[in-house]
């Protein structure tokens, strides 16, 4: 496929690097207008400047990019794979994306991101589900630049500290760079308002640990992943970048899991 990637950060770089190996062509890199690289012919600053023939847009940039650019891209009939599930916690953003996708006959595909087990949760939700809780635990560096800095001295904590407890909607809105997993768990399971979330800074760990527990007519479910962060961004797990490519692979295959 001929691909446009939004962003040039840690996830975007990983995805851009891996595209040829997955049989795709990186045709454009969509950046903020003032970030256009005059030395790179692929660098564009607006949806209008995307070259003809793009078949899929990969949002590797975060909530602002999906909320700001997503509706225009979808309304033009282009599908998006996005890492920014948390942006849908804002009902107005979610409605705008929904309307644009219907108008353009396009689809917004949410990558599973840094978590797994979402297939189990969405099947269990048919049951229905009774409860879903998600606990996200990262080393202090993984919370830098987030709301955690308001309640914790991240450079000096010596034991695990909870800095957020509430619904997945509150988490996704308050932690746009850190709680997309909470949003994905919510969307797969009992929704943004009924998913209970706890976020923890833990100086004793070196991985991003995500745990989900669910209970319902299907039985009970526990999931735990200890994810390696991307080298360029301690906030973001490598699996989140990998999940963009695996979603792209899925969309290209005639037989899918
Ligand atoms: N679904 C998941 O499990 C995960 C989702 N994420 C989401 O992915 C985002 C990106 O993660 P990283 O690459 O690690 O962050 P990063 O900070 O390394 O890179 C972000 C990139 O996006 C660009 N960008 C931001 N807003 C933009 C806009 N409106 N238009 C064009 N470019 C824009 C920035 O300039 C930068 O190049 C995070 O902010 C987070 O929301 C991150 C980790 C896991
Ligand atoms: O990458 C991770 O481990 C999780 C993350 O930032 C998010 O949920 O937004």
Q: How far apart are the first and last CA of the chain?
A: 20
Mean pLDDT across the chain, nearest whole number? 97
The predicted pLDDT at position 252 comes to: 94
The predicted pLDDT at position 213 comes to: 98
Confidence of residue 202 (pLDDT cuts 50, 70, 90): very high
**H helices, E strands: number in the chain:** 8, 13
The predicted pLDDT at position 249 comes to: 96
The predicted pLDDT at position 236 comes to: 96
Q: How far is the CA of 9 from the centre of ligand 1 (A)?
A: 6
The predicted pLDDT at position 29 comes to: 98
| CB 208 less than 6 A from any atom of ligand 2 | yes
The predicted pLDDT at position 152 comes to: 97
The predicted pLDDT at position 149 comes to: 97
DSSP secondary structure letter of residue 144: T
pLDDT tens digits, one per residue of 58-88: 999 999 999 999 999 999 999 999 999 999 9
The predicted pLDDT at position 91 comes to: 98
Spatial CB neighbours of 168, under 8 Å, sequence gap ≥ 6: 89, 134, 179, 182, 183, 185, 186, 191, 192, 193, 195, 196, 197
pTM: 0.98
Q: Is 150 a catalytic residue?
A: no
Helices 63-75 and 91-104: crossing angle, nearest 10°?
Answer: 30
The predicted pLDDT at position 183 comes to: 98
The predicted pLDDT at position 168 comes to: 98
Q: Which is nearest to 8 in space by CA: 34, 38, 32?
A: 32
Q: Work out the percent of the chain whose per-residue pLDDT is above 90.
A: 100
The predicted pLDDT at position 137 comes to: 98
The verdict on whether residue 125 carries a ligand-binding annotation is no
pLDDT tens digits, one per residue of 101-118: 999 999 999 999 999 999
Ligand 1 pocket, residues with Cβ under 6 angstroms:
6-12, 30-32, 60-65, 68, 83-85, 113-114, 176-177, 180-181, 232-233, 235-237, 240
The verdict on whether residue 10 carries a ligand-binding annotation is no
pLDDT tens digits, one per residue of 9-55: 999 999 999 999 999 999 999 999 999 999 999 999 999 999 999 99
The predicted pLDDT at position 225 comes to: 98
The predicted pLDDT at position 67 comes to: 98
């Amino acid at each position: 496929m001929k691909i446009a990637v939004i962003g040039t950060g840690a996830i975007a770089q990983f995805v851009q690097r891996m595209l040829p190996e997955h049989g795709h062509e990186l045709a454009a890199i969509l950046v903020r207008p003032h970030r256009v690289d005059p030395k790179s012919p692929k660098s564009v600053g607006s949806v209008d400047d995307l070259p003809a023939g793009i078949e899929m847009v990969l949002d590797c940039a975060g909530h602002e990019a999906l909320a700001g650019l997503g509706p225009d891209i979808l309304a033009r009939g282009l599908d998006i794979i996005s890492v920014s599930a948390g942006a849908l916690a804002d009902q107005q953003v979610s409605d705008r994306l929904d309307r644009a996708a219907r108008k353009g006959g396009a689809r917004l595909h949410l990558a599973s991101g840094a978590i797994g087990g979402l297939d189990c949760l969405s099947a269990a939700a048919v049951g229905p589900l009774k409860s879903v809780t998600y606990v996200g635990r990262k080393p202090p560096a993984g919370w830098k630049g987030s709301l955690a800095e308001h309640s914790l001295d991240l450079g000096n904590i010596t034991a695990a500290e909870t800095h957020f407890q509430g619904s997945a909607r509150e988490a996704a809105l308050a932690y746009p760079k850190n709680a997309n997993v909470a949003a994905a768990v919510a969307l797969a399971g009992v929704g943004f308002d009924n998913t209970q979330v706890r976020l923890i800074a833990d100086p004793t760990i070196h991985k991003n640990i995500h745990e989900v527990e669910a209970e319902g007519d299907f039985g009970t479910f526990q999931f735990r992943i200890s994810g390696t962060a991307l080298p360029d961004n301690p906030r973001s797990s490598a699996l989140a970048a990998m999940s963009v490519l695996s979603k792209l692979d899925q969309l290209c295959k005639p037989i899918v899991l």
